[in-house]
Amino acid sequence: MSEKNPFPNENNSGHIWDNDLRELLNDPPTWWRIGFHASWILVIVYTILYPSWPMLTTHYKGVMGWTAMGEYKEDLQSLEQIRAKYEDQLPGKSAAAIMADDELSNYVMKSAKVLFGDNCAACHGGGGAGNPSYPILADDDWLYGGTANEIITSITNGRKGVMTAHSKSLSTAEIDELANAVMKGEPTSSPLFMTKACFACHGPDGKGISAMGSANLTDGIYRFAEEDQLASIKYTITHGVNDASDPATRNAEMPTFGGSKLSETDIKKLAIYVHKLGGGK
Ligand code: HEC
Ligand code: HEC
């Protein structure tokens, strides 16, 4: 630092390094000062308008009365107004009437997708793609029938198909014969189908009876689809389905959603969704 200021006519602080490197005392630029003042004014105005300062047991609420919760509730209300246009029509309309209305069924598909994800996808898979031992809902093969009303009944009352175990009434050779006939899609080609009373539940043509949920055995679509399909068929014939007398029986129970679990309108929505997913009848 030099003794005498070599730049006396300049607004410097007198701090000079290396003979000419010096500190000036200029005012900050105007644009910067405007920005600085605008920002603290904004902070004060903001803290007056909106909830801000914490206090001992509460907080300053702001003169606008704004709350995050209030804003959320307003948004929700306007959303419900949009929904109400459709929701109000649903209880009075049959599933068939809703499906005939493009705008209404579009709304139902979107709304039911969420319901399906929450209540059904854990068993039936996303989009009704099925899971081992839970039936596929996205195809046109139905155990209990694929009309909207049959689907509504499935969801409302639940389903529990019963097939008796045959481990005691059939020999291994007989089970083999029947399983191979089913595998070929021609269950009736084995005389055992009649003599061992399979027809009583699966129908004389082997195509199933929807009132019982007995699977169609002629279409090559398997309710209990497994990698080794022949072994899976043998297992079903041997141990049956939901037969309490056989501890190894297959369990297949569709829970009841009627009553307090889901409203009638939600069930109607889901039935339309499932109907449209696959080949509703
Ligand atoms: C706990 C598992 C589970 C849940 C959750 C579940 N299901 Fe099911 N569902 C089943 C089983 C198992 C069957 C087959 C019942 C049988 O074989 O007797 C079935 C059958 C059905 C059927 C009849 C299919 C046919 O081919 O006739 C429909 C329709 C159906 N479910 C729809 C739904 C809908 C919609 C939901 C959601 C509200 C749902 N399920 C939730 C297990 C479940
Ligand atoms: C008491 C009625 C009943 C009798 C008797 C019966 N079944 Fe079944 N069977 C059913 C029902 C119901 C189902 C479907 C169960 C379900 O999905 O919940 C079924 C399912 C099956 C399946 C599984 C099909 C699939 O898609 O995976 C096979 C295979 C089968 N039965 C073969 C037979 C044969 C062979 C006989 C004769 C030995 C027979 N059943 C006798 C009611 C019966």
The string of pLDDT tens digits covering residues 131-173 is: 878 999 988 889 999 999 999 999 999 999 999 999 999 999 9
- Ligand 2 in reach of 190 Cβ (< 6 A): no
- Ligand 1 in reach of 124 Cβ (< 6 A): yes
Name the stretches of the chain with pLDDT < 70.
1-3, 280
CA separation for the pair 47, 61 (Å, rounded): 9
Task: Please tell me the number of Cα atoms within 13 Å of 239 on its side-chain side.
Answer: 14
Orientation angle between helical segments 229-239 and 172-183, nearest 10 degrees: 130
Cα 268 to averaged position of ligand 2 atoms, centre (Å) = 29
User: Could you give the angle at the alpha carbon of 243 between the alpha carbons of 226 and 234, nearest 5°?
Assistant: 35
Sign of CA pseudo-dihedral 31, 33, 35, 38: negative
- Ligand 2 in reach of 222 Cβ (< 6 A): yes
Predicted TM-score of the model (pTM): 0.80
- Ligand nearest to C-alpha 269: 1
- Ligand nearest to C-alpha 130: 1
- Hey, what are 126's tokens? 């996303």
Residue closest via CA to ligand 2's atom 14 equals 214
Please list, in sequence order, all residues whose beta carbon lies within 8 angstroms of the beta carbon of residue 51, skipping any fewer than 6 positions away: 59, 60, 61, 62, 66, 67
- Ligand 1 in reach of 222 Cβ (< 6 A): no
- CATH 1.10.760.10 residue ranges of the chain are 71-159+256-277
CA separation for the pair 142, 151 (Å, rounded): 9
> What is the pLDDT, as a whole number, of residue 78?
94
- Ligand nearest to C-alpha 135: 1
What would the CATH number be for the domain defined by 71-159+256-277?
1.10.760.10
Sign of CA pseudo-dihedral 5, 10, 15, 16: negative
> What is the pLDDT, as a whole number, of residue 6?
82
* pLDDT single digits (tens) 201-240: 999 999 999 999 999 999 998 989 889 999 999 999 999 9
Kindly report the backbone phi and psi dihedral angles of residue 199, in degrees, each rounded to the nearest multiple of 5, phi listed first.
-60, -25
Mutation test residue for ligand 1: of 119, 147, 254, the one with most atoms within 8 Å of CB: 254
